[in-house]
């Protein structure tokens, strides 16, 4: 991988700067007007960023759209599945077994298997990613609900909480750290896996990686790849912040109460 010119040049004693096929090194080479990098097919190219910014933006928007749709749909399906699995252990075995099998299937094969069902459309990618996210989400929701201390449940029942109010008022808030940990893992891996959707033309930034491969366009591939990683990191940080805001009680008393409820969250993230 190449590095910005200033760094490379600084590493060489003056006069020994290696010859650059894209032109001699000048401090402004990467600055305004430097479309040499497009000709030289450099990995890092400011001219590419400027001239194709709309393309990058479109791809990023599609990437975010696919990721958000997949994780939200996954969550909407995983939640009732987890509740059902908690009720009946037989269902739990079936759900966990099936999602594990689905998780083993490579993503390219998954998208290929879904293509005849949905045609070449964005639904192929979203469905595939939803199926993958189910594995992580169902497990983490179950772990979170299981870790709710029995005495808390007893106390709530004693205060007259019914099953629905118990779930949304007591159990879910306490399971939130584990739930968010699951959402974080699912989101980060969904961002990465969305790129493979480029096989049906709906891969967000993956489309740019694929077209960069076809045209041997290094700047396009590297830019899209870096954006993809940044997207994953940004999503992770955003979700972490949301969790902090939603569960203020886990912060100040973290050290004071070594309760079991924080354990699943940290373990799942690890």
Partner 1 sequence: MDALTGAWQWLTTAANWAGGKGVWHRLAEHVQISAVCLALSCLVALPVALWLGHIGKGGALAVNLSNVGRAVPTFAVLVLLTLGPLGSQGEWPTVLALVLFAIPPLLTNAYLGIREADRDAVEAARGMGMSGPQLLLHVELPLAYPLLMTGLRSAAVQIVATATLAAMAGGGGLGRIITAGFGNYDTAQVVAGAVLVAALALAVEGVMVAVDRLCDPMRGRRRAARSGRGSRARRGERDDHAMAVGGAA
Residues that bind partner 1 (CB under 8 A): 1, 100-101, 103-110, 112-113, 115-116, 132, 135-136, 139-140, 143, 185, 188-189, 191-193, 195-196, 198-200, 206, 209-210, 212-213, 216, 218, 221-222, 224-225, 228-229, 232-233, 236, 264, 267-270
Give the CA dihedral 208, 213, 217, 221, nearest 10 degrees.
50
Nearer to partner 1, 30 or 240 (CB): 240
Question: Cα–Cα–Cα angle for 241, 244, 245, nearest 5°?
Answer: 90
Cβ proximity to partner 1: between 46 and 197 the closer is 197
In the complex, least distance from residue 121 CB atom to partner 1, rounded to whole angstroms: 13
C-alpha torsion angle, residues 117, 63, 228, 235 (rounded to 10): -110
Whether the Cβ atoms of residue 183 and residue 166 lie closer than 8 Å to each other:
no
What is the spatial distance between Cα 142 and Cα 151, in angstroms, rounded to a whole number? 18
Cβ distance to partner 1 smaller for residue 99 or 250: 99
**Least spacing, CB of residue 33 vs partner 1, in Å:** 26
The rounded Cα 229 to chain-centroid distance in angstroms is: 9
Instruction: Pick between residue 34 and residue 204 the one whose CB is nearest to partner 1.
Output: 204
Estimate the crossing angle of helix 172-194 against helix 122-146, to 10 degrees.
Answer: 150
Nearer to partner 1, 135 or 250 (CB): 135
What is the smallest separation between the CB atom of 192 and partner 1, expressed in angstroms? 4
Cα angle 68-71-77, degrees, rounded to a multiple of 5: 135
Shortest CB 258 distance to partner 1, Å: 17
Cα–Cα distance between 80 and 46 in angstroms, integer? Answer: 48
In the complex, minimum distance from the CB of residue 70 to partner 1, in angstroms, rounded to a whole number:
13
């Amino acid at each position: 991988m190449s590095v910005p010119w200033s760094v490379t040049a600084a590493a060489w004693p003056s006069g020994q700067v290696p010859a650059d096929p894209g032109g001699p090194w000048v401090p402004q080479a990467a600055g305004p007007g430097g479309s040499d990098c497009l000709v030289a097919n450099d990995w890092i190219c400011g001219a590419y960023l400027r001239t194709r910014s709309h393309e990058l933006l479109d791809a990023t928007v599609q990437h975010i759209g696919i990721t958000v749709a997949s994780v939200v749909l996954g969550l909407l399906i995983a939640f009732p599945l987890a509740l059902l699995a908690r009720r009946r252990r037989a269902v739990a075995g079936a759900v966990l077994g099936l999602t594990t099998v689905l998780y083993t299937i490579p993503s390219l094969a998954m998208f290929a298997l879904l293509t005849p069902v949905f045609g070449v459309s964005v639904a192929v990618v979203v469905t595939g990613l939803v199926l993958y996210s189910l594995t992580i989400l169902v497990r983490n929701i179950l772990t979170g609900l299981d870790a709710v201390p029995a005495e808390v449940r007893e106390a709530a029942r004693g205060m007259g909480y019914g099953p629905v109010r118990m779930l949304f008022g007591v159990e879910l808030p306490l399971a939130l750290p584990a739930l968010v940990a699951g959402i974080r893992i699912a989101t980060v891996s969904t961002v990465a896996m969305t790129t493979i959707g480029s096989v049906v033309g709906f891969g967000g930034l993956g489309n740019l990686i694929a077209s960069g491969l076809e045209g041997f366009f290094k700047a396009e591939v590297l830019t899209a790849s870096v954006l993809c990683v940044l997207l994953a990191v940004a999503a992770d940080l955003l979700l972490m912040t949301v969790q902090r805001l939603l569960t203020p009680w886990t912060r100040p008393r973290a050290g004071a109460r070594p309760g079991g409820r924080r354990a699943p969250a940290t373990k799942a993230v690890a």
